[in-house]
Amino acid sequence: MKDFTTYFTMTEKDVIEYVQKKLDIFEQNAELECREIGDGNLNYVFRVVDQNSGQSVIIKQAGPVARISDAFKVSPDRNRIESEALKLQGELAPGFVPKVYSYDPIMNCCVMDDLSDHEIMRTALLKHKKFPLFADHITTFLVNTLLLTSDAVIDHKEKKALVQKFTNSELCEITEDLVYTEPFYDCEQNDVFPETREFIREEIWNDSKLALETAKLKFDFMTKAQSLLHGDLHTGSIFIKEDSTKIIDPEFAFYGPAGFDIGNVIANLIFAYVNASFTIEVQETKEDYMQYIQQTISDVIELFTKKFLHAWDENIKERTASAPSFKEWYLNSILEDASAAAGLELCRRIIGIAHVKDITSIENKESRALAEKICLTAGKTFILERANIRTGDDFVNVLLQSVRKFIEGEKFYDSSKSHSIRTTG
């Protein structure tokens, strides 16, 4: 009989025993069933259901190595970071994260709301579903969690205590390596699609300006303790349904540049856009969906800007932050960092070890290579031109220009002309 006083990685059977022994959630007569449902790169996610009442919870356990590869030895303390981040984000942005019922520092697991009535956003976008409330929801989450954890709003000693609490060295190291370093040289750990390799060599690895700019960005990531970030805000970290958006998995949370989270959202919308452009066969449906994603990208930036400026006026406490034009300077720097982060995410998901299904599921080799080149071109532009990218239109234009570079002579949708066009190459 296990007593759960020493850490081990649990099986489905262990989790049922754990629930019976350690938790007071289900009725005495509950008939528990457990299934491991995790499909992320790092953890084990168990869904426990009482067959009698239908009541269910999620138990998430951090293992000592990442699921994606034993080579990543990552401290299970990430489960504490995740639980504490979810609690704080739940206070700052109520309704946008799952409720955490308990955290167990020995078994490195936490118990939280089962969101099975929602769907992982990446999966839903790959089925070409639309979520008209997403931009509104995600920007409330972003503004509340990013601005309200910053020195502009909270007591500076309290903020420094939070920086300590959320010091997340090992997961930050993963990001420093996988996002900021490896994609930008011919690193053995990269996982390059053969048809794109030469393009990557010429456009990414042999570009010394890009090397300089990504170095600057890496040092910003390591030193700019501006806001409590989610730290891995891709569409696989979002559970969604028509009227609800829940941001999950903040195990990469730490104090970093606020624009990082925004840029990751934008890049992952771009992956969905590119996927749609290569996989939807009916032209009208394709145009409609691409237009929807374009609009969402633009809305995320525009709504973030609007809500940020409003929340700033309502919340700032730091005296010097009310100096004329400081608010605009601060917001500009966030948007610049968002552009850079979008660019980094676009490059690293193509070149590095952790890919996205939006691109890998494009079956035709030529189409996939083209899709990858579009992402890399947009990614590089977002990084190099970040000082000039500020509005929703600016973000969308980088995408459209990158598409045009490769899809000339074929059919694509150009919303800047507000109609469907067929270019002739």
The residues of the shown chain that bind ligand SR1, judged by CB under 6 A, are 40-42, 66, 68, 72, 174-175, 178, 232, 354
Site for Mg ion (CB under 5 A): how many residues?
2
Cα gap 338→343, rounded to integer Å? 9
In the DSSP assignment, the letter for residue 98 is: P
The token duo for 134 is: 């997403």
Residue nearest to Mg ion (CB): 249
Name the nearest CA neighbour of 261 among 166, 138, 97. 138
What, of Mg ion, ligand SR1, none, does residue 23 touch, CB below 5 to 8 Å by kind?
A: none
Q: Outline where 29-93 has alpha helix (H).
A: 78-92
In sequence order, the 6+-apart residues with CB closer than 8 A to the CB of 386 are: 336, 337, 339, 340, 343
Considering the complex, state which of residue 170 and residue 394 has its C-beta at the smaller distance from ligand SR1: 170
Considering the complex, state which of residue 178 and residue 293 has its C-beta at the smaller distance from ligand SR1: 178
What, of Mg ion, ligand SR1, none, does residue 66 touch, CB below 5 to 8 Å by kind?
A: ligand SR1
Name the nearest CA neighbour of 300 among 327, 256, 339. 339
What, of ligand SR1, Mg ion, none, does residue 204 touch, CB below 5 to 8 Å by kind?
A: none
The token duo for 238 is: 């979002």
Min dist. Cβ of residue 252 to Mg ion (A):
7
What, of Mg ion, ligand SR1, none, does residue 193 touch, CB below 5 to 8 Å by kind?
A: none
In sequence order, the 6+-apart residues with CB closer than 8 A to the CB of 121 are: 131, 134, 235, 236, 238, 239, 240
Half-sphere exposure (Cβ direction) of 233: Cα atoms closer than 13 Å: 30
Q: With beta carbons less than 8 A apart as the criterion, state whether 231 and 82 touch.
A: no
What, of ligand SR1, Mg ion, none, does residue 354 touch, CB below 5 to 8 Å by kind?
A: ligand SR1
- Does residue 40 touch Mg ion according to CB under 5 A? yes
Contact window for Mg ion (CB under 5 A) among 35-43, 56-64, 82-90, 266-274: 35-43
Please name the helix (run of DSSP H) or strand (run of DSSP E) that holds residue 320, with its range, or none: none
Which of 84, 213, 249, 358 lies at the binding interface for Mg ion (CB under 5 A)?
249
What, of ligand SR1, Mg ion, none, does residue 174 touch, CB below 5 to 8 Å by kind?
A: ligand SR1
Considering the complex, state which of residue 66 and residue 200 has its C-beta at the smaller distance from ligand SR1: 66
Considering the complex, state which of residue 151 and residue 249 has its C-beta at the smaller distance from Mg ion: 249
Min dist. Cβ of residue 38 to Mg ion (A):
9
Which own/partner pairs from 323-329 qualify as long-range (CB within 8 Å, at least 24 positions apart)? none
Cα gap 73→64, rounded to integer Å? 6
Min dist. Cβ of residue 309 to ligand SR1 (A):
30
Min dist. Cβ of residue 257 to ligand SR1 (A):
16
119-120 vs 44-50, strand pairing mode: unpaired
Which x/- pattern, by CB under 5 A, does the window 53-92 give for Mg ion? ----------------------------------------
The one-letter code for the residue type at 218 is: K
Q: Which residues form the interface with Mg ion (CB under 5 A)?
A: 40, 249
